[in-house]
Structure 1
């Protein structure tokens, strides 16, 4: 997952909206989003599944908790002892207060990562590249790519602004239209101008290639766009559009249910 924008309590009828693109090599085996056991007896999450290392990049619980991970872009990344794909599942099993205590002693066992856990009341963010890991998230619209939370990369700023504008103009009862429009916004292939590119040590050509919200490539690119909304009435809607090489659309899955309690 390489780009996430999430809105917490910025719309009277949609207290939580998450819009995300997952970027990955197309050769990496993946199972499409579905309900599956997260490792705790009797508990399921809605998530895609990494069939190589296990785990996932984004998971949704039955009561509308969304957890997601992105990598931190670094040159010469070394192999790590543990897979980052286990982190969203860990975040589904524990409250933020416990998560910070669990992750702090183990943070160096993972390659660079960002982990978010959000629901309609707020959220929590942790990065093992942050000098103060373990932050609470309150009201607002937030963006996360392959650096720290709210790092103003051009694609993050562009998507965050477009999501903000869309939410301002979306009335109640138009949740399907909201999802459809967000998917379109996440398919933006506009590259950033060279003068705005970050320098993450991967070279200018790679920075250009990775600078758009949607990455269109033959071997590596955006593989899935995922939209999650939690309505004021408790309706949860999740839409995932998958892609193959060269941005070819493949399967679309949608899940809708009513939160209880």
Structure 2
């Protein structure tokens, strides 16, 4: 069950960061995926890419040099395979020349074309964001319906806020990254999560695996499912971006990790 935490500073006159974001992508270990890089067709866009047949080019999280960031979290359920891949909600936002509010209005009108999702759209040049969902128009940060957050969202947000508050100055950037990566690697299960139980039941998933799915960082070997990618994005007040992504390969005889760190400046 993917999870994302973010902090956005509305005061561009202050020091520190415009945006701090951390996300775990939880997915089948065998789903074909391209690791993070600038797109060959759009060198101003950066993300990992879904390479599943029929879903190629979609993404769960990405950014462009104009300051757009998109995040999508799928709401588990008995989806309609004929509907459009939810990863295109993000890749279209990054690649289309539409303002955030215009794109958000477009998705609100066409959201029935997709299976259940929570979508977060950012424009860090104006310090604003939109939260869109097929379940509600309120606030949330996980695969659950927005109005019913999982325990790992609630408890993790407390730790996230503490880390960001402690290392809010850019001179402590590495400590901030290390703290966020440590948070996102936490495999401690949150037992007795009623909202997670409801989502597991609605998606007709095996309830025996509820405990492993309740953690911030998921590892379910029997299902070959879990956290494959952890991403941290930092945007400072001068528009400098650190895009850090760690990908874990669980399928080899030895678990391998690859970390990519891209730095660039916003174009505006």
TM-score of the aligned structures, taking structure 1 as reference length: 0.86
Look up the match of 2:239. Answer: 234
Pair 1:108 & 2:108 matched: no
Describe how 1:131-146 pairs up with structure 2 within 5 A: 132=137, 144-146=141-143
Look up the match of 1:125. Answer: 131
Q: 1:26·1:245 contact (CA, 8 Å) conserved in 2?
A: yes
- Are the structure 2 counterparts of residues 161 and 80 from structure 1 closer, same or farther at C-alpha, using a change threshold of 3 Å? farther
Look up the match of 1:138. Answer: none
- Are the structure 2 counterparts of residues 214 and 118 from structure 1 closer, same or farther at C-alpha, using a change threshold of 3 Å? same
Aligned-residue Cα RMSD (Å) equals: 2.3
Look up the match of 1:24. Answer: 27
Q: 1:144·1:150 contact (CA, 8 Å) conserved in 2?
A: no
Secondary structure of 1:84's aligned partner:
coil
Please state how far the C-alpha of 1:90 moved relative to its aligned partner: 2.0
Secondary structure of 1:88's aligned partner:
helix
> Which residue of the other structure, out of 130, 152, 155, is the alignment partner of 1:155?
152
The CA distance in 1 between the partners of 2:256 and 2:147, in whole Å, is: 29
> Which residue of the other structure, out of 20, 32, 37, is the alignment partner of 1:34?
37
Please state how far the C-alpha of 1:150 moved relative to its aligned partner: 6.3
Pair 1:178 & 2:210 matched: no
The CA distance in 2 between the partners of 1:197 and 1:151, in whole Å, is: 6
Secondary structure of 2:27's aligned partner:
strand
Moved >4 Å (runs of 4+): none
Please state how far the C-alpha of 1:204 moved relative to its aligned partner: 3.2
Describe how 1:36-75 pairs up with structure 2 within 5 A: 36-37=39-40, 44-52=44-52, 53-54=55-56, 55-74=58-77
- Are the structure 2 counterparts of residues 37 and 114 from structure 1 closer, same or farther at C-alpha, using a change threshold of 3 Å? farther
> Which residue of the other structure, out of 84, 93, 97, is the alignment partner of 1:82?
84
String of CA shifts for 1:163-215, please: whole Å, max 9, x gaps: 10011111331222211221111000011122555322145323222100000
Please state how far the C-alpha of 1:43 moved relative to its aligned partner: 5.9
Please state how far the C-alpha of 1:81 moved relative to its aligned partner: 1.9
Secondary structure of 1:178's aligned partner:
helix
Look up the match of 2:99. Answer: 95
Look up the match of 2:260. Answer: 253
Name the stretch that deviates more: 20-29 or 84-93: 84-93
Gaps of 5+ in 1: 136-141
Secondary structure of 2:80's aligned partner:
coil
The CA distance in 1 between the partners of 2:65 and 2:93, in whole Å, is: 14
